[in-house]
Structure formats: structure tokens, C-alpha cells
């Protein structure tokens, strides 16, 4: 029986820690992939690239072409690259100017990326990604799914399963340990195990931009890691409090017996 309780305690702690760790990451990714979070980041990056690569006379020509299209349609098409195009609403084109065209196109580019329809599920799309790609275009296309509504739905919808895992882990710990101050110690130590990662966040952040340098994602990384660091800090503090409480109560309850 003691062996079963120990196995249950270890297994419960493992489920608890893994579910909590993934929940923290999923909450941060769900927040990061919200439209209002990503839109200014991606649109500003695209707008900067367009502004630096297109001359004003070219903008004037493109804008003239768009206004001509809008005479017979409610949408205007802007070719992007070799095989891509952006559809702009004519109401927005008419209320804009040639100088503001990069901003308008950048917003359209992001909307196309964010609301892109994928035939595969999020996991299937990740599985189908090639680990080695031959061009920057392919790299960008692979990366785009992380900037989509599909990614946001995946990270948001699966949080409930991770919460269920946390509850299941805690219940298993309680059933296996039974002594309440030992339960406090066990849960506290598990929170500490997860929260200790907070101390390594600066090191992790310093490494990630080097891996993703081709995507120019340093600003993205800062926004992504902010909530992760916050949750890990809370986990670390709660872990210290619960662990200390468990040891203090255990000491006080055993002290009279020693006398």
C-alpha cells in the first residue's frame, strides 16, 4: 500500500507539474496570438519593409491603379510578390492617400495571414512542416501558422484539458499523501519546480532570437515571454509559501510528541 501511495504521489506531481507548465505556455501563446496583439506587430514590420523598398512615384502609380479598379468594384487587388495578392476594400482606398498606401497594404497582408484557411489541423500543420527549407519564402510560410487565428483557437481551446490535468494531479496527490501538511509540501515543491524556470527566463530569451534571427522576432519574443515570466514568478512565490508552510506545520505538530 505504501508503494502504491508513493507511486500515486510521484505520478500526481508529474501530471500537476506538466499540466501547469503547459498551461502557462498555452495562456501566453493564446494571448500572443490574439488579433489585437499580433496586428500592430506584424503590420508595422510589413509597413516598414514596404516603405523602405517602394518609392513615392511607385506608390502614386499603384494608388492610381487601385482607384481605377474601384470605379467598377468594391474591392481592389494589390499584387504582392510573384503569386500573392491582397484584396483591399475600396472604401478604405478612397479614404486613403498614396503616401498611406503602405499602411493600408500592411494591414491587408496581416489580415490575409491571420485569417488564412488551412486544410490541416494545427498539430497536423506543424507535423507537416519541413525541418529544412530551401528559401526564405518557405520559411515565412511555415512560420505564418503561428500568426494565425487557427493557432489562437488551438491554444485557447486546449487550456481546459490542462486545467483538468492540474485538478487530476492535485486530487491524486491528496489521495496518495493524505496528511494535509505533507500535501502542502508536495504541492509547494511542485510549484517550486515549475516556478524555478523564472530564474532562467533572461538566459532563455537571449538564446531564442539567435535561433529565430531569420524571422526578426526579437520584439515578438519580448511580448510572448512577459506573461510567461509573470506566471512563473507567481508559481515560484506560491511554491515557497506552501512548502515553508508545510514544513513549519509539520515541525509544530511533531514537536509536542518529542517532549
> Could you write out the DSSP letters of every residue in 35-69?
HHHHHHHHHHHHHHHHHHHS-HHHHHHHHHHHHHH
The more confident residue out of 257 and 93 is 93
Average pLDDT over residues 95-116: 91
Residue 133 is predicted with a pLDDT of: 47
Residue 164 is predicted with a pLDDT of: 97
- What is the C-alpha separation between 176 and 180, in angstroms, rounded? 11
Average pLDDT over residues 140-159: 87
Reported as a single tens digit per residue, the pLDDT across 17-71 is 999 999 999 999 999 999 999 999 999 988 888 888 888 898 999 999 999 999 8
Pull the grid cell for residue 107: 494591414
Average pLDDT over residues 116-136: 72
Extents of the domains making up the chain = 1-33+159-259
Residue 177 is predicted with a pLDDT of: 92
The more confident residue out of 188 and 217 is 188
Supply angle C-alpha 123, 202, 38, rounded to 5: 45
- What is the C-alpha separation between 247 and 59, in angstroms, rounded? 70
Closest among 118, 170, 175 to 141, alpha carbons compared: 118
Average pLDDT over residues 144-166: 95
Average pLDDT over residues 109-136: 77
Residue 137 is predicted with a pLDDT of: 46
Round the average pLDDT of the chain to a whole number and report it.
Answer: 87
- Whether residue 135 is predicted with pLDDT greater than 60 in this model: the reply is no
3-state secondary structure of 198: helix
Query: Environment class of residue 251 by beta-carbon count within 10 Å: exposed (0-12), middle (13-18) or buried (19+)?
Result: exposed
Q: Which residues 6+ apart lie within 8 Å of 84 measured at CB?
A: none
Say which DSSP state 135 is in: S
pLDDT band at 256 (very low <50, low <70, confident <90, very high): low
Amino acid at each position: 500500500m505504501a508503494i502504491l501511495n508513493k507511486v500515486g504521489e510521484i505520478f500526481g506531481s508529474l501530471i500537476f507539474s506538466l499540466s501547469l507548465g503547459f498551461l502557462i505556455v498555452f495562456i501566453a501563446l493564446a494571448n500572443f496570438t490574439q488579433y489585437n496583439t499580433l496586428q500592430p506587430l506584424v503590420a508595422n514590420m510589413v509597413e516598414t519593409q514596404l516603405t523602405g523598398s517602394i518609392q513615392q512615384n511607385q506608390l502614386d502609380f499603384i494608388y492610381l491603379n487601385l482607384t481605377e479598379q474601384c470605379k467598377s468594384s468594391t474591392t481592389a487587388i494589390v499584387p504582392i510578390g510573384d503569386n500573392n495578392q491582397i484584396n483591399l476594400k475600396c472604401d478604405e482606398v478612397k479614404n486613403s492617400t498614396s503616401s498611406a498606401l503602405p499602411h493600408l497594404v500592411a494591414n491587408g497582408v496581416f489580415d490575409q495571414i491571420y485569417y488564412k484557411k488551412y486544410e490541416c489541423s494545427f498539430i497536423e500543420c506543424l507535423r507537416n512542416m519541413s525541418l529544412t527549407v530551401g528559401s526564405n519564402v518557405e520559411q515565412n510560410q511555415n512560420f505564418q501558422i503561428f500568426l494565425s487565428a487557427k493557432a489562437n483557437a488551438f491554444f485557447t481551446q486546449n487550456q481546459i484539458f490542462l486545467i483538468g490535468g492540474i485538478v487530476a494531479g492535485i486530487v491524486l496527490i491528496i489521495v496518495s499523501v493524505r496528511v494535509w501538511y505533507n500535501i502542502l509540501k508536495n504541492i509547494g515543491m511542485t510549484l517550486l519546480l515549475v516556478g524555478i524556470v523564472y530564474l532562467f527566463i533572461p538566459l532563455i530569451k537571449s538564446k531564442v532570437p539567435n535561433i529565430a534571427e531569420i524571422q526578426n522576432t526579437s520584439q515578438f519574443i519580448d511580448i510572448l515571454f512577459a506573461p510567461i515570466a509573470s506566471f512563473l514568478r507567481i508559481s515560484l512565490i506560491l511554491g515557497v509559501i506552501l512548502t515553508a508552510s508545510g514544513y513549519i506545520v509539520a515541525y509544530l505538530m511533531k514537536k509536542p510528541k518529542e517532549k
